[in-house]
Amino acid sequence: MKFIGKLLLTLLLLAVLAVVLVYVLGQTRWAAGWMSRWISNNSEYRLSVEKITHSWSKPGQIMLEGVTLAQANQPQALAAKQVDLAFSLRQITEPRYFGSVTLRDGTLNVKPQQGMSLPLQADTLQLSNMALQSNDAGWQLDAQKVNAGVTPWQPSAGHLLGENNQFQFSAGLMVLNGIPASQVLVQGEIKQDQLILSDFGADLAQGDLTGVASRAADGSWLVERLRLSKVRLQTPLTLEQFWGHFTALPSITVKRFDLIDARLEGKDWAINDLDLSLQSVTFQQGDWSSQDGTLSFNAGHIIHGNFHLIDPIISMQLSPAGITIQQFTTRWEGGLLRTSGNWLRANKRLQLDEVAMAALEYTLPINWRALWLQPLPSWLAQVYIGKLTTNRNLIIDINPDFPFQITALDGYGSNLLLANDHQWGIWSGSLKLNGSDATFNKVDVRRPSLALDADAQQINVTELSAFMPDGLLDAKANVSQQPGKPFTLSFDGRSVPLNTLQHWGWQPVPLEGEGNLQLQLKGMLNGDGSFKSSLQGHLQATSKEGQTLEQQLP
């Protein structure tokens, strides 16, 4: 019996010694290397562990140091200075299920490749001072100084963080789809392919971002609330390119978006002191829809090329029928511009109830005629103004071929259709304009006046007149609405300089002094060739001395 007792004691001591030996050897670099090679040789993963350690102050966990992990022939998924594995009672039946897994001081690629799934699970995955990266089509992510918790952690194929969990996330620095942010805080959950962001915030472009949003399984977003304040954003993009980033996004439904005291600047455009509020709108495939939405904003300045608005204020109602412009006022070109009306989706018609312009000092673009002939964008087929009033405006054209200036221009128009089938023109309505003084290519006149009526067939200019120092210029014209805009003009000048028309492109008149002029002219305003080459005309000039001259064009 003593022998059996000694034998059992010896075996027990040997077993304890073996356990101690395994415990000690298990924490050597040799053991870590052997385990790494065994896993790499017997699985689809490539694992490297520099050292395995255990502390009796934390008996329920082991620490792996210098860890890298990747799938065979794939980019690296994990590189961490330390990985802490906390044991769980559940491991009695599920050895690969841990109480917690903590990744410290490294980099995790959350979308390393399609189909990768780690053979581990845990009640909690924690990240401590990690970097997160993702380079798939929908998420271009690079986050630094990340601290996060995911509960529970159940990775699946293509979803390294799992498909059903709750998470908290913070990052010192983050770039998401090219947009940099700092001090990022996010709380939310993942349900299958649905992402719910119950609360998020960040420092973005020197401002503050907060919001609540969710993404459905089909990739569409619902923004419950998004608020940006004091943003100072500079971009090398043009306004069209900048807006193109947003129209390229998946379907987004915005319940409320507020932009407060923002300053945005890009290539050839800028907006400062901008306050904007948008509610109940869906953006999809470059278009928008709304049942009962609103848009309102005001800004200090809006600049796009040579276009400059000062203190614009806009208030709109959005509906399936289109947009109701409740208010639009702005200072523009030194004066005031005010209007209200509707944009109708069915026929792409901008229907303005009233347009008022006062005290403008406007210089026409050098290529204004080419701009006038360009077709309007697809969303704008017609422009209609119920009532137009202009007061004390100054209009200048600096085109060296035919400069002109009209001072103190007043006017009134009604039922004006200024664009039809995406083309500018005067397609219907009546218009009366008059100024105090004008200069047309070095010819000074007083009290220039214009009156016209237009319908679908023609524009009838019933009055086109101006005073010269000792005489009067008077004309009538008719412009057809047919392609090319063929026109006829009947012009009379009484007691005017006989070389007046020479300044306006007619051939020299070999008579001196003042007299009477009678001109009949026809041509094409918008023909395919040059305007001058389309003209045909007959001029009769009579001097004060009774000399008469007739000229033909061509």
Work out the widest C-alpha separation in the chain, in whole angstroms. Answer: 159
Q: Sorting pLDDT into bands at 50, 70 and 90, what band is 37?
A: confident
Average pLDDT over residues 66-87: 84
- 47-61, 167-181, 353-367 — which is least confidently predicted? 47-61
**Above 70 in pLDDT, residue 263?**
yes
pLDDT at residue 134, rounded to an integer: 83
pLDDT digits (tens, 9 = 90+) for 283-306: 988 889 999 999 999 999 999 988
Helices within 27-52 (DSSP H only): 29-41
* Tokens matching residue 114: 């399609």
| E strand segments, 267-401 | 269-284, 287-289, 293-298, 301-304, 307-319, 322-332, 335-344, 349-358, 361-363, 382-397
**Above 50 in pLDDT, residue 197?**
yes
Query: What b/e readout covers 317-352, taking b as 16+ CB neighbours within 10 angstroms?
Result: bbeeebbbbeebbbbbbebbbebbbbbbbeebbbbb
**Above 90 in pLDDT, residue 277?**
yes
On whether the CB atoms of residues 265 and 234 are closer than 8 A, the answer is yes
**Above 70 in pLDDT, residue 143?**
yes
Q: Residue type for 471, please?
A: G
pLDDT digits (tens, 9 = 90+) for 442-494: 899 999 999 999 999 999 999 999 999 889 999 999 999 998 899 999 999 99
3-class secondary-structure state, position 369: helix
* Tokens matching residue 398: 């600096």
Q: Which residues contact 58 (CB under 8 A, 6 or more apart)?
A: none
Average pLDDT over residues 512-518: 92
On whether the CB atoms of residues 511 and 500 are closer than 8 A, the answer is no
DSSP for 417-451, please give it: EEEETTEEEEEEEEEEEE-SEEEETTEEEEEEEEE
Q: Sorting pLDDT into bands at 50, 70 and 90, what band is 56?
A: low
- Which of 418 and 134 is assigned the larger pLDDT? 418
pLDDT at residue 24, rounded to an integer: 45
Q: Sorting pLDDT into bands at 50, 70 and 90, what band is 545?
A: confident
On whether the CB atoms of residues 68 and 39 are closer than 8 A, the answer is no
